[in-house]
Chains A and B, each alone.
Chain A
């Protein structure tokens, strides 16, 4: 019975439930998807190996058929005669990047709310709860609410704009306003949530004596905010930024699906939504897997760049 006393064995037994789940339902499918990305597979017939065809279909360009590459100058400006094989992909990549414009606004708003929530006021716990509620509400319910707010004819938003004499746009059916609508909704449901809590905790972790030292050094409120609060929050800001960028690349499906079905004309379709469409609408598992792996590599790269250049601006405590 010596194996009972083997600490390593006992340790493995403890992590076994999780490990089995991770291997069977995460690692294995991830590796399988890499293989699938080199096949054509519709879930019903057996997958067929197609090499890099899925990737070429996504990233490839073809010459405009009538383009006549006659002189060498034509070769110099060859990009004028190229047309993407999958114009949708590039549009959705752009959409994804556009929706990520909400990240800095979200961070600023979260910080602002955290600063307000950090005040020692009566009933502050009540307000903290109120601000936190949207982030734990069901997104379906939130979407229903916002569809009503955004309704061009009898929605709350256009009614309010009407009061100050502005004819509001048809929010969800205009290609640009639809994107902005989703960003706004994301801000509403996100700013009071986890990021605000992270900022709140970080604010409370800034030693009071730094502010006192600054008081004596002659700093006013703005100085203190710029020279103490912002730098002292930098580890938190950096963490929130990295996680938001990762989430931004991976996100956009739920709210777009509930609000606009990716429309109008694909204006709110993100890469995640596109992967969903490929996989479960058009049953091109190969292309969906190829897209997913592309997304993975982009996130990896961006995060590495963030760490390399952003990490330098982060100040960690010394005590």
Chain B
């Protein structure tokens, strides 16, 4: 097992800068998730760690060795690909044994390792099958098995669950997590799915346009996004954003959206004061906007907004409402048994403890 360090790593294809000044340290045994929208450079970053792409500038260190110039096979890593990349002409056993054979392991050793991995993954009965005789989930397990038998220092996963159906994805998510507990290995895991990132990662590294936006544990990323992009990317449905002007009335400070006002809590006042009479981006998560009828806490006259309900999305456990405030379309979460209908006028209360504020130009959070 080993840590992985990326120091000021750049990747350029001609003029296009795919990864920009990427620095990240993944400690030993950590499950680190790189997440971001497609084209953000997360897969390229992973492929540079694997040695499948050359590094334009910067250093990649695995364990204590700088591996920039080492071929993939000498980096002591294993990789699981999005489309599994199983060798179609080999059986499951041969697929898992191939890397060991090339490394000149003895046959009994190979057999032992393959069987052990097959037991862990529950594919021991499939060893004689060809990949085409397997279901998507089984192929996924074989691909993971092929990585496990090598007992590498670092596991690299490149969107491994994207080709599975939703139910299987949830199941495999838990299994991969369990596998990580069991193997105590360092894992770098790439995904575009923020749910996967939140549920699996010890730490999440959010990327956009080749740059790191924020690196932290899932809860911190969710509760304290460094910028507007992270706030909008993590969480589903996404955070509501609206422009609001900072105004001061007496001792109190307010955020004016145009149709409603929110009182700024005293502890945020210092952060907000430099922006008086200027615009800020107000971010509120759907679960922090409540139906006034069922929310009694912290009820101040100023924190109520009213709007017209456009869409009602019942999920069973909760209902998401798309509400038009007159200026902005926002999403909020209400009780599963709410009787709200489309075109109703609804009064909503904002939980002012949980608001996020970002600079209008830079998108940086001003509350951190």
In the assembled complex, the Cα of A60 lies from the Cα of B244 at a distance in Å of: 103
Separation of A232 and B88 alpha carbons in the complex (Å): 8
Asked if B354 CB lies within 8 Å of chain A CBs, one says: no
The smallest C-beta distance from B50 to any residue of chain A, in angstroms, reads 6
Residues of A within 8 A of B85 (CB): 207, 209-210, 212-213
- Taking a contact as CB atoms under 8 Å apart, the answer to whether A215 and B73 are in contact is yes
The B-contacting residues of A in range 205-228, CB under 8 angstroms, are: 207, 209-210, 212-219, 223, 227-228
Q: Which of B83, B88, B146 is A315 in contact with, Cβ under 8 Å?
A: B88
Q: Is B89 an interface residue (CB 8 A)?
A: yes
Note all chain B residues with C-beta closer than 8 A to A223: 102
- A219 to nearest B CB, angstroms? 6
**17 other contacts beyond A212-B50, A213-B87, A216-B51, with CB at 8 A cut-off?**
A207-B83, A207-B85, A209-B81, A212-B79, A213-B81, A213-B86, A215-B51, A215-B71, A215-B73, A216-B99, A217-B146, A223-B102, A231-B89, A232-B88, A234-B89, A315-B88, A316-B132
Shortest distance between the CB of A142 and any CB in chain B (Å): 38
A103 smallest CB distance to B (angstroms): 23
User: In whole angstroms, what is the CA distance A303 to B164 when docked?
Assistant: 41
15 A-B interface contacts by CB (under 8 A): A207-B85, A209-B83, A210-B85, A210-B87, A215-B71, A215-B72, A215-B73, A216-B50, A216-B52, A217-B102, A232-B88, A316-B132, A317-B88, A318-B86, A318-B130
A121 at the interface (CB under 8 A from B): no
Find out whether the CB atom of B51 lies under 8 angstroms from the CB atom of A318.
no
With an 8 A cutoff between CB atoms, is A319 at the interface?
yes
Q: Pick the contact of A213 from B71, B79, B89, B130 — CB < 8 Å?
A: B79
Q: For B72, what are the chain A residues with a Cβ–Cβ distance below 8 Å? A: 212, 215-216
Contact A218 to B99, CB < 8 A, known contacts A213-B85, A232-B89 = yes
**Are the C-beta atoms of B73 and A218 separated by less than 8 Å?**
yes
Q: How far is the CA of A37 from the CA of B87 in the complex (A)?
A: 51
Closest partner residue, chain B, to A210 (CB atom): B85
Task: A98 to B336: give the CA distance in the assembly, Å.
Answer: 82
A-B residue pairs, 5 tightest by C-beta: A318-B132, A217-B99, A315-B89, A218-B73, A213-B85
Nearest neighbor of B83 in chain A, beta-carbon distance: A209
Q: Is the CB of B73 within 8 A of A216?
A: yes
* Chain B hits for A317, CB < 8 A: 88, 132
Q: Which residues of A contact B9 (CB under 8 A)?
A: none
Inter-chain CA distance A63–B303, complex, in Å, is: 117
When distances are taken between beta carbons in the complex, the residues of chain B under 8 Å from A216 are 50-52, 72-73, 77-79, 99
Cα separation A297 to B103 with both chains bound (whole Å) = 50
Residues of B within 8 Å of A232, CB to CB, are 88-89
Of the residues B52, B86, B103, contact of A215 by C-beta under 8 Å: B52
A217 cross-chain contacts in B, Cβ below 8 A: 73, 98-99, 102, 146, 150
Interface residues of B in 29-70 (CB under 8 A from A): 50-52
Size category of the binding interface on chain B: 20 to 34
Interface residues of B in 90-140 (CB under 8 A from A): 98-99, 102-103, 130-132
Give the distance in Å from the alpha carbon of A304 to the alpha carbon of B50 in the complex: 47
State whether B71 touches A219 (Cβ < 8 A).
Answer: no
- Main SS of chain A's interface residues? helix
Most A CB atoms within 10 A — which of B79, B83, B88, B99? Answer: B88
Per-position contact with B for A40-82: 1 when CB-CB < 8 Å, else 0? 0000000000000000000000000000000000000000000
Distance from A202 Cβ to chain B, minimum over Cβ atoms (Å): 14
> What 1/0 flags go to B129-168 for Cβ under 8 Å of A?
0111000000000000010001000000000000000000
Q: A residues within 8 A CB of B77?
A: 216
The CA of A217 and the CA of B86, in the complex, are separated in Å by: 12
CA distance A3 to B131 in the complex (A): 50
Q: How far is the CB of A275 from chain B (nearest CB, A)?
A: 41
Minimal beta-carbon separation of A285 from chain B (angstroms): 49
- In angstroms, Cα B143 to Cα A209, docked, is 12
Chain A residues in 8 Å Cβ range of B87: 210, 213-214, 227-228, 231
* Complex CA–CA separation, A279 to B99 (angstroms): 61
In contact, B81 and A212 (Cβ under 8 angstroms): yes
Interfacial chain A residues near B52, Cβ < 8 Å: 212, 215-216
Considering the complex, give the chain B residue whose CB is closest to the CB of A218. Answer: B73
B78 A227 Cβ-Cβ under 8 A:
no
Q: Return the chain B residue nearest A313 by Cβ.
A: B89
| CA gap between A218 and B102 in the complex, in Å | 6
Bound-state Cα–Cα, A217 to B73, Å = 6
Looking at the complex, which one of A212, A214, A218, A318 makes contact with B88 (CB distance below 8 Å)? A318
Most chain B CB inside 10 Å of its own CB: which residue of A227, A232, A316: A227
Q: How far is the CA of A219 from the CA of B86 in the complex (A)?
A: 14
CB distance from B364 to the nearest CB of A (A): 38
> A231 contacts which chain B residues (CB < 8 A)?
87-89
Q: Which residue of A lies closest to B147 (CB)?
A: A216
Q: How far is the CA of A219 from the CA of B73 in the complex (A)?
A: 8
User: How many whole Å from B82's CB to the nearest CB in chain A?
Assistant: 8
**How close is A224's CB to chain B, nearest CB, in angstroms?**
10
